[in-house]
Amino acid sequence: LTGISREQRAFQYLLAHAIPGDPHHILQTFDQWSYHCEHLSCVGPDKGRIVERVLLEQAPLRVLELGTYCGYGTVLLAQGLPPGARLYTIEGDPRHAAVAEKVIRLAGFSEQTVELIVGPSEEVIPRLREKHGLMNANLVFMDHWKRCYLRDLRLLESHQLLAEGATILADNVLFPGAPHFLQYAKTCGKYHCKVHRASLEY
């Protein structure tokens, strides 16, 4: 009725309640909004702890996120990066990207640390090396359309964008589910697979 999207409403709440330049507080404020006001399909704190653990264990220098949405996952990833690391995040919806850009900068991350790329992942991935300077990624976080998981993994492989020993972290593979992606990851012989059990966000 207001003509303002749910994502923009969430950002207005962030502006009113979050501490600028404090990524942890920005994520907490997002969580408060999603628990008490309107649901956002962000990673959330439960699954967020899995992401944080992977970042801590691996200290990846080049991270690729597929599906920026409002920037929650981006801030979560960016705050766990080791010094000198760079995060590339791809969002297909320009309206979501506009909100995410403001969230990422509000959290205090510059374009040198986090580069937001707007466009369909199948068009952006083939251009990542020559246009954006990503030689290969040590960690890929997939949180976009589940039907695109397998296609985009194959694209990353064919364009040699996965570093040796790279980790692919894919959200919601059981529900709503990405069965073809899971089947490929388990049977192609290129990956060791582990399913993390977690509740749905919020």
Q: Is residue 198 part of a domain?
A: no
What is the residue range of 144's domain?
6-188
What is the edge-to-edge ordering of all strands in the sheet holding 162-170?
114-118, 86-91, 62-66, 137-142, 162-170
Q: Which tokens sit at 115? A: 């580069």
Q: Where are the alpha helices (DSSP H) in 59-195?
A: 72-79, 94-106, 121-124, 128-132, 149-158, 179-187
> 3-class DSSP state for residue 119?
coil
Active site residue 172: yes
Active site residue 31: no
Q: 7, 101, 143, 152: which one is catalytic?
A: 143
Active site residue 146: yes
Count structural domains, the chain.
1
Tens of pLDDT along the chain (202 residues)?
778 999 999 999 999 999 999 999 999 999 999 999 999 999 999 999 999 999 999 999 999 999 999 999 999 999 999 999 999 999 999 999 999 999 999 999 999 999 999 999 999 999 999 999 999 999 999 999 999 999 999 999 999 999 999 999 999 999 889 999 999 999 999 999 999 988 888 8
Active site residue 136: no
Contacts of 155 (CB under 8 A, 6+ apart): 121, 122, 125, 126
Q: Is residue 142 part of a domain?
A: yes
**pTM of the entire predicted model:** 0.97
Q: 65, 138, 146, 152: which one is catalytic?
A: 146
Res 3: pLDDT: 87
Active site residue 22: no
Q: Is residue 196 part of a domain?
A: no
Q: Is residue 197 part of a domain?
A: no
Q: Is residue 16 part of a domain?
A: yes
Q: Is residue 158 part of a domain?
A: yes
Q: Is residue 193 part of a domain?
A: no
Q: Is residue 114 part of a domain?
A: yes
Residue with tokens 């909004």: 33
Q: Which tokens sit at 43? A: 């990673």
- CATH number, domain at 92? 3.40.50.150
Q: Give φ, ψ of 7 to 5 degrees.
A: -65, -40
